A and B are shown apart, each in its own frame.
Chain A
Amino acid sequence: MRIFRNLVQALRGLGRNKANVFLMTLGVAVGIASLTVIVAIGEGTRAKVLDRIAGFGFGPESFSIYAGSGRLFFRKAQMPTNMSFQDVEDVASLPTVRHVMPRQRKRLRAVYRKNSTSTRIYGVTPLWEIIRAWPIVDGKFFDDRDMDRKSKVAVLGATPVKNLFPPGEDPLGKSVRMGNVFFKVVGLLEEKGLTESGYDPDNRVLIPISTSVARLTHEAHLHSIKVQAMSPEVVDETMEATRQILRRNHNLSPITSDDFRFVTPTGIMEWITEQKQAMNRMLILISTVSLLVGGIVIMNIMLVSIRERIHEIGVRRCFGARRSDITQQFLFESVFVSMLGGIVGTIFGVVVSLVLKRTDFIPAQITWEPFVLAALFSGAVGLVFGIQPARKAANWSPEETIR
């Protein structure tokens, strides 16, 4: 086959021009490597968000209501003061609701002897243990009696334990000061470890919400309410009923927007989709630019290369190479080099992604997409940017090229 012979000639030609091969490969490899890393970071970020959401402890039958309007994530904390225990009570009376849990939240320093650490204090009810299904490794969760008595008891996550107690010391029964109040440690939460994003779910302390209201925040308003409906099917109607209750309780006029936000599994999924689309647009843009750069490198070097090899082209033409043979030979060269760059770039990109993942610097996740993308795009780049030099080489008249 003539085309196969031209392929052989192309590969041998590349073997004689190793410096050019190196430069062209590098050009594409950089583009493909960045593509691979970007895809890995994109996937990693998505995983991080998903994992953050898993941290909410959502089942499909649950939703949360956060006080305050505005954006769902990363909003500046302006702590609205209008979500109350009345809201909790009213929502709990809805027939489709199984559990309702109010929550207060405060960031404070916790102190034990000479050690102190910054942590998130959550005022919750004993329902927390059921709703979150987070195992207690030592001691027990506080109960309704602690709620009634506004007991100064706390359940500690693994991070405050690590930061406050020397290794070997049993935290159970010890007194930890938060604000001006001493709490007795009654239970320890199982350690979950850092999420992909570096969020530390273990950095928390749980206390009865009654204690929180009476002794710590001295405020009656809530940070959020978690609602568990009877079944996933009734979530929508429960949410709508909840919205009506809250709007009435908060005396909102019909033209005022909600002063609370729902966080639902579907809402989160929509948000992720939105984020992912934005990420994909970004990714496509960056990849296009980097591949364009790789392509231009190939085109430039091929143009220089055919100039250097004008003599070879002339000789080939003298001894029977058709224009199409020359075009094929040089196209094979650029496509081959480009795909080689694709392979090198993918390997390099995967290595960089693994390093990023290992060092917890940026979330990264390796998926199959970059491999397919690299193969397709590098081949296409070689073809698109190789065609012009190859045509040019073929169109020189043999008479002129051997002068």
Chain B
Amino acid sequence: MSLIHLEDVKKSYTSIGMTTEVLKGVTLKISEGEYVAIIGPSGAGKSTLMSIMGCLGRPTSGSYYLDGELVDQMNDKQLSGVRNEKIGFVFQAFHLLAGVSAFDNVYLPLVYCRKTPADARDRVREILAKVGLSERMNHSPGKLSGGEQQRVTIARALVNQPKIVLADEPTGNLDSITGKEIMAIFDRLNAEGNTIILITHDPEVAARAHRTIRIKDGLIESDEKNENFPEFGSGAEGTRA
């Protein structure tokens, strides 16, 4: 069973009486453990696709199954629960809360789940250690470098052990060396079994993924396994290290 299953998903936005169709019928399946890059020029519908996959917005038509559940019929409470438990977002602009320590930023998803505060704190410390920020967890985003901020957002995305990590241009605001460091973290996370979906327009970033989906004008132009990692292409069980 696929973790993500989009079936003929369309999305249009209406503003000032004009309707723009951004996604024109996308069908897509992603399995658990995959490392997928979604690539395409700006305006192609990448971000819209991500917001639908991330349960931030509903498709205008078509259906979306996440982990076997039909998402587009869910109410706000259920959708919020899905976002909380199954999805971890990493944003280009970090979207950290200003004036709030790295620790509390990472804690944020746990505010809205059932973990006890003691467990939650342990979990936050553990994940911050994993991204190498144990020493700086009391610093607010303003006092952290770009790379450090992005590591905080990765920690925040992972803290509630989501099924999918959705990263929107995770290296877009970083210099190339830091960007490589961040990408190394994603590589490692995937190697540990996390499903990762990268949205990018940078072919170099996309090249690290095992599968590349190209989008153009709201449609999938191509969907291919990355030649360098043929054995991971389908994300099939048992082939992972």
Contacts and interface: CB of A to CB of B under 8 A. Distances in A.
B193 interface: no
Contacts of A240: none
A320 B57 CA distance: 14
Contacts of A323: 76, 80
Contacts of A402: 56, 91, 95
Interface in A385-403: 397-399, 402
B113 interface: yes
Interface in B57-82: 57, 76-77, 80-81
Interface string B89-102: 10100011111100
Q: Most chain-B CB neighbours within 10 Å: which of A314, A319, A324? A: A319
B109 A312 contact: no
B56 A398 contact: yes
Q: Most chain-B CB neighbours within 10 Å: which of A2, A312, A322? A: A322
A399 B109 contact: no
Nearest to A394: B76
A315 B76 contact: no
Interface in B33-71: 51, 54, 56-57
A10 B99 CA distance: 14
Contacts of A321: 80, 111-112
A402 B95 CA distance: 8
B156 interface: yes
Contacts of A46: none
Contacts of B99: 16
B84 A320 contact: yes
Nearest to A9: B111
Contacts of A311: 95
B85 interface: yes
B83 interface: yes
B170 to A, nearest CB: 15
B108 interface: yes
A319 B91 contact: no
Interface string A362-403: 000000000000000000000000000000000001110010
A5 interface: yes
B76 A399 contact: no
A319 B57 contact: no
A325 interface: yes
A246 B98 CA distance: 85
Contacts of B112: 2, 5, 316, 319-322, 325
A94 interface: no
Interface string A291-314: 000000000000000000001101
Contacts of B100: 12, 16
Contacts of A226: none
Given A16-B100, A312-B97, A318 B54 contact: yes
11 contacts: A2-B112, A16-B100, A319-B84, A319-B89, A319-B156, A319-B160, A321-B80, A322-B112, A323-B80, A397-B57, A398-B83
Given A319-B83, A324-B77, 8 more contacts: A12-B104, A316-B112, A320-B80, A321-B80, A322-B80, A322-B112, A325-B80, A398-B56
Interface of A: 2, 5, 9, 12, 16, 311-312, 314-325, 397-399, 402
List the 3 closest pairs (A to B, CB-CB), nearest first. Answer: A320-B84, A320-B112, A319-B109
